[in-house]
């Protein structure tokens, strides 16, 4: 699973999408596209952004829920927390025989 997270984070557009969700969680595809275009001058198609969102969702970095005909995207930091904990949590020293 960590490999999926690293793959998802490798792309700068996906990192911008995550930044936008940190700034304001629960956005629709249209809102994300608008923010990327206005704040970052990214002129990607809705289909391209949708494909980036699918990669982020497969890595469990975002979760979605539907409300009526709208699909909302929420940031999920759990995969990042697991990775950070892996290297930042002190492990007991193993004694050598």
91 within some domain: no
Using pLDDT thresholds of 50, 70 and 90, give the confidence band for residue 84: confident
Say how far apart CA 76 and CA 80 lie, in whole Å: 8
Q: What is the CATH number of the domain that holds 64?
A: 1.10.10.10
pLDDT in tens, 30-64: 999 999 999 999 989 999 999 999 999 999 999 99
- Mean pLDDT for 12-31 is 97
pLDDT of 45: 95
Total domains in the fold of the chain: 1
Neighbours of 35 (CB within 10 A): 19
60 within some domain: yes
pTM of the predicted structure, to 2 decimals: 0.85
For residue 20, the enclosing domain spans 2-76
42 within some domain: yes
Share of the chain above pLDDT 90, in %: 79
93 within some domain: no
In DSSP terms, which residues pair with 62 in a beta bridge? Answer: 75
DSSP track, the chain = -HHHHHHHHTSHHHHHHHHHHHHS-SB-HHHHHHHHHHHH-----HHHHHHHHHHHHHTTSEEEEEETTEEEEEE--HHHHHHHHHHHS--PPPPP-
89 within some domain: no
33 within some domain: yes
């Amino acid at each position: 699973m960590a490999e999926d997270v690293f793959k998802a984070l490798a792309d700068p557009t996906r990192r911008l999408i995550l930044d936008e969700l940190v700034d304001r969680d629960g956005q629709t595809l249209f809102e994300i596209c608008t923010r990327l275009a206005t704040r970052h001058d990214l002129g990607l198609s809705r289909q391209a952004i949708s494909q980036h969102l699918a990669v982020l969702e497969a890595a469990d970095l975002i979760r979605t829920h539907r409300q009526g005909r709208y699909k909302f995207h929420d940031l999920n930091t759990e995969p990042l927390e697991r990775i950070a904990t892996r290297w930042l949590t002190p492990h007991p020293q193993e004694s050598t025989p």
